[in-house]
Amino acid sequence: MSESINSHPDCSRSVQNGMKMWGGRFAAGPSSSMDALNKSISFDQRLWQVDIDGSVAYAKGLNLAGILNSTELSAIITGLKQVKEEWKNDQFVLQETDEDIHTANERRLTEIIGPVGGKLHTGRSRNDQVATDLRMWLKDEIVIIEGLLVKILDVLCNRAETELDIVMPGYTHLQRAQPVRWSHFLMSYAVSFKSDYVRLNSLLPEIDELPLGSGAVAGNPLGINREYLASLLAFSNVALNSMHAVSDRDFVAQFLQWAALTGIHLSRLSEDLIIYSTKEFRFITMSDQYSSGSSLMPQKKNPDVLELLRGKAGRLIGNHTGFMCTLKGLPSTYSKDLQEDKEPLFDSVDQIKIMLDAAHGVLATLTINANACRSALSFDMLATDVAYYLVRKGVPFREAHHIVGKLVVLAEGKQCHLKDIALKDLQSIDHRFADDYAQIWDFEKSMEQYSATGSTAHAAVWQQIATIREFIMNTKERFTIEQ
Residue closer to ligand ARG by CB (options 21, 386) is 21
Q: Kindly state whether residue 126 participates in binding ligand ARG, applying the rule CB under 6 A.
A: yes
Residue ranges of alpha helices (H) inside 239-333 are: 242-247, 250-276, 304-327
Between 51 and 154, name the residue whose CB sits nearer to ligand ARG. 51
The candidate with the shortest Cα–Cα distance to 59, out of 239, 228, 235, is 228
3-state secondary structure of 44: helix
Indicate the residue among 130 and 383 with the shorter CB distance to ligand ARG. 130
Separation of alpha carbons 316 and 354, rounded Å: 13
Residues binding ligand ARG: number (CB under 6 A): 10
Q: Binding marks (x or -) toward ligand ARG, 4..43, rule CB under 6 A? A: ------------------------------------x---
Nearest approach in angstroms of CB 471 to ligand ARG is 37
> Which 36-75 positions form the footprint of ligand ARG (CB under 6 A)?
40, 44
**109-117, 139-147, 335-343, 377-385 -> range binding ligand ARG (CB under 6 A):** 335-343
294 is catalytic: yes
Output the smallest distance, CB 211 to ligand ARG, in A: 12
Distance CA 179, CA 164 (A): 13
- The window from 50-58, 126-134, 290-298, 457-465 that contacts ligand ARG (CB under 6 A) reads 126-134
**Distance (Å, whole) CA 475 – CA 150:** 8
Q: In the window 292-331, what residues touch ligand ARG (CB under 6 A)? A: none
Scanning 55-63, 190-198, 334-342, 458-466 for contacts with ligand ARG by CB under 6 A, the matching segment is 334-342
CB atoms within 10 A of CB 213: 25
Question: Is residue 100 at the binding interface for ligand ARG, with CB under 6 A as the rule?
Answer: yes
Say which amino acid occupies 287.
S
Q: What is d(CA 419, CA 323) in angstroms, rounded to the nearest whole number?
A: 57
Instruction: Give me the catalytic one of 31, 32, 236, 294.
Output: 294
3-state SS, one letter per residue, for 326-366: HHCCCCCCCCHHHHHHHHHHHHHHHHHHHHHHHHHHHHHHC
Q: Is 146 in the site for ligand ARG (CB under 6 A)?
A: no
- Is 173 a known active-site residue? yes
Rule CB under 6 A: say whether 334 interacts with ligand ARG. Answer: yes
List 138, 273, 274, 338, residue binding ligand ARG (CB under 6 A): 338
- In the complex, minimum distance from the CB of residue 300 to ligand ARG, in angstroms, rounded to a whole number: 46
For ligand ARG, which stretch binds (CB under 6 A), given 123-131, 196-204, 273-281, 420-428?
123-131
Strand partners, 367: 285
Reading phi first (left if > 0) and then psi (alpha if -120 to 50, else beta), residue 141 is in: alpha
Task: Tell me if 138 contacts ligand ARG by CB under 6 A.
Answer: no
To ligand ARG, the closest distance from the beta carbon of 378 in angstroms equals 59
CA angle 155, 185, 141 (to 5 degrees): 40
Report the phi/psi class of residue 216: left, alpha or beta, with left for phi > 0 and alpha for psi in -120 to 50: alpha
Which of the residues 33, 70, 173, 295 is marked catalytic? 173
CA distance from start to end of the chain: 45
Minimum Å distance from CB 98 to ligand ARG? 11
What whole-number distance in Å separates Cα of residue 270 and Cα of residue 393?
Answer: 42
Q: Are 36 and 96 a contacting pair, CB within 8 Å?
A: no
Distance in Å, CB of 342 to ligand ARG, minimum: 6
Out of 130, 266, 386, 426, the residue judged to bind ligand ARG by CB under 6 A: 130
127 is a contact residue toward ligand ARG (CB under 6 A): yes
To ligand ARG, the closest distance from the beta carbon of 268 in angstroms equals 34
Instruction: Using alpha carbons, select from 463, 457, 432, 431 the residue that is nearest to residue 445.
Output: 457
Contact 460, 452 (CB under 8 A): yes
Of 39 and 181, the one with the shorter C-beta distance to ligand ARG is: 39
Q: Judged by CB, which is closer to ligand ARG: 72, or 98?
A: 98
338-373 in b/e form (b: 16+ CB < 10 A) is: bbbbbbbbbbbbebbbebbebbbbbbbebebbeeeb
If one asks whether residue 251 binds ligand ARG (CB under 6 A), the answer comes out as no
336 versus 431: smaller Cβ distance to ligand ARG: 336
Residues at the contact surface with ligand ARG, assessed by CB under 6 A:
40, 44, 100, 126-127, 130, 334, 336, 338-339
Catalytic residues: 173, 294
